[in-house]
Structure 1
């Protein structure tokens, strides 16, 4: 994955309460996920990640 640090994904809120913890269902405004910041921080902290976490990210074509 090659995403600029300032990249933000806007996701539609779930119709039911099945979303991530703390996320309210419904509503008109999308949920903003700062994907670029997450990936940049993950790359900087790569040495601290578990083997399983690195394998999961590699499966998503993570660019280290």
Structure 2
């Protein structure tokens, strides 16, 4: 087997193909991901009274982990590219830009 890579172990399943309007299990649209992250920010802000989130913080929302720290950090870095509505969503939670 010169130059070939052989992988022993369980076979990988091929990536799911889009089936029209049905959502793929485990995949979220960009809008759905935004809503989940804003829900995590709302929950954190209600509990802590601020939105100063450590980068590694993971917030549990309805039994699902959301990487809130990464979301807040990335949102700050990309603030100029966010729509007015998305900035308003975060401003309502006392986001520190």
Give TM-score, length-normalised by structure 1.
Answer: 0.66
Q: CA deviation at 1:62?
A: 0.7
Q: Which residue of 1 aligns with 2:25?
A: none
Structure 2 gaps of 5+ residues are 1-50
Distance 2:76 2:55 in 1: 11
- Report matched runs for 1:18-37 at 5 Å: 30-37=63-70
Give TM-score, length-normalised by structure 2.
Answer: 0.45
State whether structure 2 residue 85 is matched by structure 1 residue 52.
yes
Distance 1:6 1:42 in 2: 15
Q: Count the aligned residue pairs.
A: 47
User: Which protein is richer in helix relative to its size?
Assistant: 2
Query: Rg larger in 1 or in 2?
Result: 2
Where in structure 1 do 4 or more consecutive aligned residues deviate above 4 Å? none
Of structures 1 and 2, the one with the larger relative CO (CA 8 A, separation 6+) is: 1
